[in-house]
Amino acid sequence: MRANFIHIEPMLREVLRCGVSGDLAEFGVWHGTTFMPMAELARVDGRVIHAVDSFCGMAQETSRDGDNYKRGALSVGGSKVFRHLAAPFGDTVKIHEGFVPDILAELEDVQFAFVHLDLDQYQPTLDALRFLWPRMSPGGVLICHDWKRGASTLAAGAIADWMTETGAVLAGERKESLHGWFVR
């Protein structure tokens, strides 16, 4: 199932309503169908939103990814179309083009209020979780797509391993949308 803005909108609006400090982000923007409505809310609220994606598909798969999502799968052919779609938002949108973890240095000084994480593969998801959690503001929400309780591969396996590693506990989950979320 693909992530859909309606699955994350209520939590994003609550973070904004409560005035949690920090920027917004989506890791794995793909075509931008969840990102663009997030960008509009960021613009209205006077916030910066970060778009993190390779725009050339998946990273090199590992044994934790099985035969799913081979290198280059889900490529959108580069960032040109996404950059055009994001242009009306001006300086509100910051685009970070590259693979996780390589791209993370660009975000080292950012504090986050809300992040939608949708990287599909095991290692990029684990690397992103390790990077993001210490940078989440108190009350901030980190929502992860592709969450499936009991899974050991792909993004769900990374989320489970990260939870074991850090002691982080799910604040909630929606099985019908494959989302699990954490509140800092």
Structural domain boundaries enclosing 24? 5-183
* Domains of the chain: total: 1
CATH classification at residue 146: 3.40.50.150
pLDDT digits (tens, 9 = 90+) for 97-113: 999 999 999 999 999 99
pTM above 0.95, yes or no: yes
Q: What is the C-alpha separation between 169 and 69, in angstroms, rounded?
A: 27
Residue 154 has pLDDT above 80, yes or no: yes
